[in-house]
Amino acid sequence: MVLEKPGEPLRVTDVPVPEPGAEEVRIRVHACAVCRTDLHVVDGELKDPKLPLIIGHQIVGTVEKTGERADRFAVGDRVGVPWLGWTDGTCRYCLEGRENLCDAARFTGYQIDGGYAEYAVADQRFCFPIPEGYPDLQAAPLLCGGLIGYRSLRMTGDAERLGLYGFGSSAHMIAQAAVHQGRRVFAFTRTGDEEAQEFARTLGAGWAGGSDESPPEELDAAIIFAPVGALVPVALRAVAKGGVVVCAGIHMSDIPSFPYEILWGERVLRSVANLTRKDGEEFLALAPKVPIRTTVQTFPLEEANEALDALRGGRIGGSAVLTVA
């Protein structure tokens, strides 16, 4: 499913089977989960994608061929490919263990062809082994929604009362991890989306309501998964003094101006960008211990445009996953 021009639908296209470079593996794709970032690429909100482009950065498949210096995985191994596809390893961010901020990073399904396809090649250093016990479809959403949600959760420190704004793919996984860690979860959904609120309660949220509602008590931290800048002052008003509001998405509409008093009291507003491989290793070790159960809605690969539209329209409960026959 190829993106030729942002703003246009993906097209079913025959492309050559990719050959792995020296440190790459070729993966027979079994499943690729759909991320909101995919929408931002297709809609042209993320600038200068590789074109034409195969999007998709939550890939699960089996290694089919290895490059001449790629010995980390064997043919037949089941691997996952996340958003972070390559870093230089030499810039100050990489050297400080902050490769998520690498100046020269390249991302899967953005600067590198991704997983909305039957085959993908990936740098072996950025692939993860998939935990046993997670079937392909259930594993795919862990690779971005879960992983970057986990990085966001870590940024909330030891917050006990945690607000999640936007109860989609990330939040439905991170709510489970948060409850496992002994936190109390407050879920904020689109106004009037009672189905999503009920879903949140079944995953352990102690309270669920619309994002226009105030929680029944102050929060210690909030994570904003919805790409809606207007939620920033809403969340700041909901957190207690010293609390943190984490913006987890790669793109957000403009944040309206707000009075300083809602930031005062040492409240912190921050973003989370990308992932490090360490985040991935930690999260994929944690997921089976919780255990995080992913609720997936599947679409065949050739219905990728329908899956993207359903995500855009808020019609996905849990995570959308493309299945590749």
Binding site for Zn ion (CB under 5 A): 35, 37, 87-88, 91, 94, 102, 144
CA geometry: angle at 167 spanning 299 and 241, to 5°? Answer: 155
Q: Taking the complex as a whole, how short is the minimal distance between the CB of residue 37 and Zn ion, in angstroms?
A: 4
Q: Taking the complex as a whole, how short is the minimal distance between the CB of residue 166 and Zn ion, in angstroms?
A: 14
Q: Taking the complex as a whole, how short is the minimal distance between the CB of residue 55 and Zn ion, in angstroms?
A: 10
| Residue closer to Zn ion (CB basis): 91 or 240 | 91
Q: What is the largest CA-CA distance in the chain?
A: 59
| Residue closer to Zn ion (CB basis): 43 or 88 | 88
Q: Taking the complex as a whole, how short is the minimal distance between the CB of residue 185 and Zn ion, in angstroms?
A: 21
Q: Taking the complex as a whole, how short is the minimal distance between the CB of residue 147 and Zn ion, in angstroms?
A: 8
Query: How many whole angstroms separate alpha carbon 62 and alpha carbon 232?
Result: 40
Per the CB < 8 A criterion, the answer to whether 103 and 51 are in contact is no
* Token pair listed for 17: 């089977």
| Residue closer to Zn ion (CB basis): 241 or 278 | 278
Q: Taking the complex as a whole, how short is the minimal distance between the CB of residue 272 and Zn ion, in angstroms?
A: 12
Q: Taking the complex as a whole, how short is the minimal distance between the CB of residue 319 and Zn ion, in angstroms?
A: 11
Q: Taking the complex as a whole, how short is the minimal distance between the CB of residue 6 and Zn ion, in angstroms?
A: 17
| Residue closer to Zn ion (CB basis): 81 or 94 | 94
| Residue closer to Zn ion (CB basis): 92 or 241 | 92
Q: Taking the complex as a whole, how short is the minimal distance between the CB of residue 316 and Zn ion, in angstroms?
A: 14
Query: How many whole angstroms separate alpha carbon 144 and alpha carbon 100?
Result: 13
Question: HEC profile for the chain?
Answer: CEECCCCCCCECCCCCCCCCCCCEEEEEEEEEECCHHHHHHHCCCCCCCCCCEECCCCEEEEEEEECCCCCCCCCCCEEEECCEEECCCCCHHHHCCCHHHCCCCEEECCCECCCCCCEEEEEHHHCEECCCCCCHHHHHHHHCHHHHHHHHHHCCCCCCEEEEECCCHHHHHHHHHHHHCCCEEEEEECCCCHHHHHHHHHCCCCEEEECCCCCCCCEEEEEECCCCCCHHHHHHHHEEEEEEEEECCCCCCCCCCCCHHHCCCCCEEEECCCCCHHHHHHHHHHCCCCCCCCCEEEEEHHHHHHHHHHHHCCCCCCEEEEECC
| Residue closer to Zn ion (CB basis): 59 or 144 | 144
| Residue closer to Zn ion (CB basis): 159 or 246 | 246
| Residue closer to Zn ion (CB basis): 144 or 171 | 144
| Residue closer to Zn ion (CB basis): 30 or 40 | 40
